[in-house]
C-alpha cells in the first residue's frame, strides 16, 4: 500500500453502515467529509487497484455476508446554500452528505416548499437522484434542477441538468454503466416560496379529508403515516421497499385484472400500466406477513422485507428468490428488486 494523504480504514463491518444491519467487511473505507478530498481518494483507489463503491446512508443496500473487496467512499460532506431567483422560486443546493430528512426539515423551516411529501425517507441527499426517490405522489426528479458530480475516470467535476439525469421510476442515468463512474457531490433543487400542496395520494387525502393543510402539516402527516408503514430502524433491519411496483403492458395483466377487479391499476404512459406489488403479494399470492426464520414481509406493508433478528444476507437472498418465484408462478410476472444487492 502507498503512503496516503487520506485516512483509510481497513476491514470495516458493513452491517453497522447499513439499515438492514447485514453484511461482512468492507476491505477499505474512506469517510469523505470534504469534497476537496475526492481527488486524493480516487487517486488512492487507482494506485491500489481497488474498485470504488460509493456509499451514502446504506438505507437502500443489501451487502453480502462476505462483504466487499473495494474502496468504499462514504459520502458525508455537508453544507447548504440558497439563492432566491424571483418572488416565487428559490434554488437550494445541498451537499451530498447531508442527511435527507434533516435537509427536508430545514427547507420547510425556511419556507422553501416542495419536498414535504418526501419527509422521513432515510439516507443522504447525494443518493436521492440515484434512485429518484419518491413517496406520496412526489418524485425528487420533479424538484431537481441539477446535480454536481465528480467523474471517477476523468477526475473532473461536471454539472448535469435534470434532463441529463434521465430520471425514471426508481431509476436514473446514475444507474447506467457510464453513470456508475459518477459520484454525486451536491444537488440543486428548485423550490417554491409559496406553498404548493399535493395531497392527491390516497393516504394523504384520507388524512386531511376536506382541509387544505400547510406544508408543515403535510410533513407531520407524512411522518405519522410512515411510522405505521415501516418498522422502527432502532429495532429491526430493513432497506424499505425491497421490490419495485410492477410496470408492464396493459395486455399482460388482463387476466389478473379480470380475477381481481379491485386491483388498482395506474396509467404509466405509452400502453404501460403500473400495479401495486404490495397488492399482488397480499391479495393475489396470500403472502401478507410471510416469514421464513428471521426474515419476513412487514405486516403493515408487504413491500418491506425485514431482518427481524440477526438474519444473514444469504437468508434474505433466499427469501427474496422464494417470493419472486411464488409471484411468477401465480401471475407470470417477474418482480424486480428496488434495493441494491452489493
165 near ligand FAD, judged by CB under 6 A = no
Asked if 57 contacts 123 with a C-beta cutoff of 8 angstroms, the reply is: yes
Residue 222 contacts by C-beta under 8 Å, 6 or more apart in sequence?
116, 117, 118, 119, 120, 135, 136, 204
Q: How far is the CB of 241 from ligand FAD (least distance, A)?
A: 6
45 near ligand FAD, judged by CB under 6 A = no
Which residues, listed in sequence order, are joined to residue 25 by a DSSP beta bridge? Answer: 13
Kindly tell me which of 49 and 232 has the beta carbon lying closer to ligand FAD. 232
Task: Determine which residue in the list 24, 67, 123, 215 makes contact with ligand FAD, applying CB under 6 A.
Answer: 123
Q: Which one is catalytic: 18, 59, 128, 241?
A: 241
- Residues 200, 260, 267, 325: what is their CA dihedral angle, to the nearest 10 degrees? 110
239 near ligand FAD, judged by CB under 6 A = yes
C-alpha–C-alpha distance, residues 48 and 43, integer Å: 9
Q: How far is the CB of 331 from ligand FAD (least distance, A)?
A: 24
Q: How far is the CB of 186 from ligand FAD (least distance, A)?
A: 9
230 near ligand FAD, judged by CB under 6 A = yes
Kindly tell me which of 139 and 331 has the beta carbon lying closer to ligand FAD. 139
Kindly tell me which of 252 and 315 has the beta carbon lying closer to ligand FAD. 315
19 near ligand FAD, judged by CB under 6 A = yes
To the query of whether residue 170 is one of the catalytic residues in this protein, the response is: yes
Q: How far is the CB of 32 from ligand FAD (least distance, A)?
A: 9
- In angstroms, what CA-CA distances link 296 with 18, 174, 239, 317? 18, 30, 13, 12
Kindly tell me which of 55 and 221 has the beta carbon lying closer to ligand FAD. 55
124 near ligand FAD, judged by CB under 6 A = yes
121 near ligand FAD, judged by CB under 6 A = yes
Number of shown-chain residues binding ligand FAD (CB under 6 A): 31
Name the grid cell of 42.
Answer: 480516487
Subset of residues 280 to 319 that bind ligand FAD, contact rule: CB under 6 A: none
Task: Determine which residue in the list 23, 67, 134, 296 makes contact with ligand FAD, applying CB under 6 A.
Answer: 134
- Binding residues for ligand FAD, rule: CB under 6 A, are 19, 54-61, 75, 96, 121-124, 126-128, 130-131, 133-135, 174, 183-184, 230, 238-240, 340
User: Which residues are annotated as catalytic?
Assistant: 170, 241, 338
Amino acid at each position: 500500500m502507498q503512503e496516503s494523504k487520506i485516512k483509510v480504514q481497513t476491514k470495516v463491518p458493513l452491517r453497522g453502515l447499513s439499515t438492514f444491519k447485514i453484511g461482512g467487511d468492507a476491505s477499505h473505507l474512506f469517510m469523505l467529509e470534504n469534497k476537496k478530498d475526492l481527488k486524493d481518494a480516487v487517486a488512492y483507489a487507482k494506485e491500489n487497484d481497488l474498485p470504488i463503491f460509493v456509499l451514502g446512508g446504506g438505507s437502500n443496500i443489501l451487502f453480502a455476508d462476505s462483504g466487499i473487496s473495494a474502496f468504499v467512499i462514504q459520502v458525508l460532506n455537508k453544507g447548504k446554500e440558497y439563492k432566491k431567483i424571483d418572488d416565487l422560486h428559490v434554488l437550494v443546493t445541498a451537499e451530498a452528505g447531508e442527511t435527507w430528512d434533516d435537509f427536508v426539515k430545514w427547507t420547510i423551516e425556511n419556507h422553501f416548499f416542495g419536498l414535504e411529501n418526501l419527509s422521513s425517507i432515510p439516507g443522504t441527499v447525494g443518493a436521492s437522484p440515484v434512485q429518484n426517490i419518491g413517496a406520496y405522489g412526489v418524485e425528487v426528479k420533479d424538484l431537481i434542477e441539477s446535480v454536481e458530480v465528480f467523474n471517477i475516470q476523468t477526475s473532473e467535476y461536471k454539472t448535469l441538468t435534470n434532463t441529463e439525469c434521465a430520471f425514471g421510476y426508481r431509476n436514473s442515468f446514475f444507474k447506467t454503466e457510464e453513470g456508475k463512474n459518477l459520484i454525486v457531490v451536491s444537488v440543486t433543487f428548485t423550490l417554491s416560496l409559496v406553498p404548493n400542496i399535493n395531497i392527491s395520494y390516497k393516504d394523504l387525502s384520507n388524512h386531511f379529508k376536506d382541509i387544505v393543510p400547510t406544508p408543515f402539516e403535510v410533513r407531520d402527516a407524512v411522518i405519522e403515516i410512515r411510522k405505521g408503514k415501516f418498522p422502527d430502524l432502532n429495532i429491526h433491519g430493513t432497506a424499505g421497499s425491497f421490490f419495485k411496483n410492477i410496470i408492464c403492458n396493459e395486455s399482460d395483466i388482463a387476466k389478473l385484472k379480470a380475477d381481481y377487479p379491485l386491483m388498482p391499476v395506474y396509467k404509466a404512459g405509452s400502453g404501460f400500466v403500473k400495479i401495486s406489488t404490495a397488492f399482488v403479494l397480499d391479495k393475489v399470492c396470500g403472502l401478507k406477513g410471510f416469514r421464513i426464520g428471521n426474515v419476513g414481509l412487514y405486516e403493515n406493508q408487504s413491500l418491506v422485507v425485514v431482518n427481524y433478528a440477526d438474519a444473514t444476507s444469504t437468508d434474505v437472498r433466499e427469501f427474496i428468490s422464494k417470493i419472486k418465484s411464488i409471484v411468477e408462478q401465480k401471475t407470470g410476472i417477474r418482480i424486480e428488486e428496488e434495493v441494491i444487492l452489493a
